Amino acid sequence: MFLWFAVNVDEQLCPLKRRVQAVSAQLNAQNQALTLPFHVSLRISAPVDDAKWEAAVDAAASYFASLSPFEITPDCIEQNGAIIWLRMAENEPLSEIHRHLMDDLQKRFAMPPQPFDDRFIFHSTLFMDDGTQTEAAYALLKDAPFPGKLTANQFFIGASVTGIPGDYREIRTVNTF
């Protein structure tokens, strides 16, 4: 099983999501980023032993429930290969959550580090396809407006059997208070 962890920002990015949906339709693109609610990724998805994944989900959910809401500042829209994302400014709460997810889940559930985890870029993926429409989509999205602040007060935990983008599903939502 593969697990991923994120901050839910779908409602907060609703106008931007509508624009992304329109661009995806205009280009007739299979935008895999639209298979999940818009979210700020907290670490690269990672494999976990099938016998341990439920305990790992429970541990992450307990951790998220212990957090207080905090702000995230969107920075800019960037293209990174076949992905277009809204990059987030790194801050202490995001960094601490990433470190916790890396250290705790590796130690307790043998979830290994993944490429880029050591230089993680917090982001919300807006567009991801096979690479054929990325340049055109970026040209249409690069100047799209986005909010100056987002509130992190709800977290997603998702899973995939294959680890392939587009195959992930939300399996738990955790609210902070």
Mean pLDDT over all residues of the chain? 94
- As a three-state string, the secondary structure of 42-86 is CCCCEECCCCCHHHHHHHHHHHHHCCCCEEECEEEEEEECCEEEE
Quick one: which H or E segment has residue 103?
helix 92-109
pLDDT band at 123 (very low <50, low <70, confident <90, very high): very high
Sorted by where each starts, the structural domains of the chain and their CATH numbers stand as: 2-175 (3.90.1140.10)
Q: Name residue 103's amino acid.
A: D
Strands (DSSP E) found in the chain: 2-8, 39-41, 46-47, 70-72, 74-80, 83-88, 123-128, 150-152, 154-160, 169-175
Q: Name residue 89's amino acid.
A: A
pTM summary value: 0.93
Quick one: which H or E segment has residue 37?
none
Structure confidence by residue, pLDDT tens digits, 99-108: 999 999 999 9
Contact 127, 84 (CB under 8 A): yes
Rounded average pLDDT over 112-137 = 88
Structure confidence by residue, pLDDT tens digits, 11-34: 999 999 999 999 999 999 999 999
Closest CA to 48 of 120, 113, 115, 96: 113
